[in-house]
Chains A and B, each alone.
Chain A
Amino acid sequence: QITLKESGPTLVKPTQTLTLTCTFSGFSLTTSGVGVGWIRQPPGKALEWLALIYWNDDRRYSPSLKSRLTITKDTSKNQVVLTITNMDPIDTATYYCAHTLLYSDELGYWGQGTLVTVSS
């Protein structure tokens, strides 16, 4: 059974760096074809894809946010970490992580999400 869970601060100040952790089970990021991505959703708004990392350390980023994003993995801990620099109130959103498979590319399993508010 594949599960994912996001964790991190619920409140950050403007200009701070946000670090979010996705802890997963039921699969391994050492398995060929496996990936984990991050998606966010501001309150009442649409989904926005942020980044993705594959088993082979191939990393993909949203072009509009690439300069602020870093995605890494720790296979020994079954975790994927996303950092976002220079946070702004418009970055207030629920942040989700999701499992994907190369070649099929669906985001088939999602975590429950974590709400991050950016405010001074």
Chain B
Amino acid sequence: QAVLTQPSSLSASPGASASLTCTLHSDINVGTYSIYWYQQKPGSPPQYLLRYKADSDKQQGSGVPSRFSGSKDASANAGILLISGLQSEDEADYYCMIWHSSACVFGGGTKLTVL
């Protein structure tokens, strides 16, 4: 079982909301981690979106619209990236990341299609 698991793909309609999940290995508790989210468009490097640990401990990336937000589902041991008011330009790959045992770990990424 991977440290971080993301669904490989997700589709949503323009104007709708999309919830991208990042499930942590069962041996580690999402409550103790900051979850980082990155967006990557074809041919470009990843761009940092935000960090979420709790409502009291979060950070939005510079210039990142507020319609990108983070949360957690403790019952699912997962971090969530919520994108509201989907736009065609949001179509991209999204990666979650944590720091675990002094090393950085990425999830396998979710390809978001807006159609």
Chain A interface (Cβ within 8 Å of chain B)? 37, 39, 46-49, 52, 60-63, 96, 104-113
Selected contact of A106 from candidates B45, B59, B95, B101, CB within 8 Å: B59
Residues of B within 8 A of A48 (CB): 106
Residues of A within 8 A of B38 (CB): 47, 107
Smallest Cβ-Cβ distance to A37: which chain B residue? B104
A54 to nearest B CB, angstroms? 12
- Per DSSP, chain A at the interface is strand
Residues 63-98 of B, flagged 1 when their CB comes within 8 A of A and 0 if not, give 000000000000000000000000000000001010
- Per DSSP, chain B at the interface is strand
Residues of B within 8 A of A107 (CB): 36, 38, 46, 48, 97, 104
Selected contact of A111 from candidates B45, B103, B107, B109, CB within 8 Å: B45
B71 to nearest A CB, angstroms? 17
The range of chain B's interface size is: 20 to 34
Q: How far is the CA of A107 from the CA of B46 in the complex (A)?
A: 9
- Count of A-B contacts with CB under 8 A? 60
Residues of B within 8 A of A104 (CB): 51, 59
A46 to nearest B CB, angstroms? 5
Chain B interface (Cβ within 8 Å of chain A)? 34, 36, 38, 40, 44-48, 51, 59, 61-62, 95, 97, 99, 101-109
Residues of B within 8 A of A106 (CB): 36, 48, 51, 59, 61
Selected contact of B103 from candidates A60, A108, A112, A113, CB within 8 Å: A60
A51 to nearest B CB, angstroms? 9
B107 to nearest A CB, angstroms? 7
A-B contacts, 29 of them at CB < 8 A, read A37-B104, A39-B104, A46-B107, A46-B109, A47-B38, A47-B97, A47-B106, A49-B103, A49-B104, A49-B105, A52-B104, A60-B104, A62-B103, A63-B101, A96-B46, A104-B59, A105-B34, A105-B36, A105-B51, A106-B48, A107-B46, A107-B48, A107-B104, A108-B61, A108-B62, A110-B45, A110-B46, A112-B45, A113-B45
